[in-house]
Structure 1
Amino acid sequence: MIVLRSLISVVVLPGVAAVVVPWLIVGSPAWPTGVGWIGLVPFGFGLAIFAWCVIIFASRGRGTLAPWDAPRRFVAVGPYRRVRNPMYLGAGSVLLGEAILFGSLALAAYVAVLALVWHAFVVLWEEPSLERTFGDEYRTYRASVPRWLPRLS
């Protein structure tokens, strides 16, 4: 059941943000040429991080990335040991990779706007919700793990 719930949440949220909206912005893009292929690096890296986070949410947290089906247990393993929001960073990296692949400034602007929206959502809704749900465990985690720039040590 958790696998199905995770698949649905991935299709609904990031599927729209990373497939539908870019398609609406770029249309039917031509295959990348020249340096555009460099976009595969952030795309692949972001996809791997994002998938890792989805698996951890399902296996450790017993929930999904969807706010209406969030993990029931606190998750601070894997990439979450280094940064509090690796799933957003992974999704942003996928979108940045798409912008490079398709040579689209409009798509790059979409990524920038989406990053601002994600930041506001995290600060105004997600972090207070995590504090209410997980209390001191989350407060301790928040004090030692950075929000956006991964801790390297």
Structure 2
Amino acid sequence: MTPSGETAAEKRRAALGTALFAAAPATAAGLLPWLLTHWKVQRPVPGGLPAQGAGVLLIGAGAVVIASSFVRFAVEGIGTPAPFAETKHLVVGGLYGFVRNPIYVALAAAVTGQGLLLGQPKLFGLAALGAIPVEAFVRLHEEPGLARKFGSEYEAYRENVPRWLPRLTPWRPATAG
């Protein structure tokens, strides 16, 4: 066991499960946009090169946020982002100190970025429509489950970290002692 109480096997399982769960965001931010657009650039691109540059930045930022969040689930949470293989610990570090749902925010940014890069407004619709089931899932399943599992620890987190629009500075939980 490590000083924090996890075994090497638990850590390996968390890393493997998180890597396997990467298929979900790859589908949302990769396969679905491709099915709608075949990644064809519409000419002329509305907004031209500035819009495409912003799109590249959103796609890149989204990918970095998703990857770092997945690592945080495996390393800090000792689990995965998957609802069927939850974390052992509440994840509040890294980007989770700024916003409670960085993966969902990053997915919307990546899809929106593809819309800008490709000049494909239908991807803005995909991002907006995708927000509806995500909002419902977060409010009706994810948050109540976290409240049951982590109790006052999650309540303090929820009171201090916004669901969708990031804080300007990271929240850090009060430490005992």
TM-score (norm 2): 0.80
Distance 1:69 1:95 in 2: 26
Bigger CA radius of gyration: 2
Point out where structure 2 has 5 or more consecutive residues left out of the alignment.
Answer: 1-12, 170-177
Task: Determine the structure 1 residue equivalent to 2:8.
Answer: none
Distance 1:139 1:2 in 2: 25
Larger fraction in helix = 1
* Secondary structure of residue in 1 paired with 2:84: helix
1:28–1:145 CA distance, 2 compared to 1 (3 A): closer
Counterpart code for 2:148: R
Counterpart code for 1:46: G
Counterpart code for 1:10: A
> What are the superposed Cα offsets for residues 68-122 of structure 1, whole Å, 9 maximum, x if unpaired?
1121111110111111111111111111111111111111100001112211111
What aligned pairs does 1:5-16 form with structure 2 within 5 A after superposition? 5-11=17-23, 13-16=24-27
Do the aligned partners of 2:39 and 2:118 also contact (CA within 8 Å) in 1?
no
Distance 1:65 1:31 in 2: 35
Do the aligned partners of 2:73 and 2:91 also contact (CA within 8 Å) in 1?
yes
Aligned residue pair count: 152
Task: Determine the structure 2 residue equivalent to 1:138.
Answer: 154
Moved over 6 A (4+): none
Q: CA RMSD in A?
A: 1.7
Question: Are 2:20 and 1:4 aligned?
Answer: no
Task: Determine the structure 1 residue equivalent to 2:111.
Answer: 95
Task: Determine the structure 1 residue equivalent to 2:166.
Answer: 150
Distance 1:4 1:134 in 2: 24
Distance 1:143 1:149 in 2: 14
Point out where structure 1 has 5 or more consecutive residues left out of the alignment.
Answer: none
Cα distance, 1:46 vs structure 2: 1.2
Cα distance, 1:31 vs structure 2: 8.8
Distance 1:67 1:104 in 2: 32
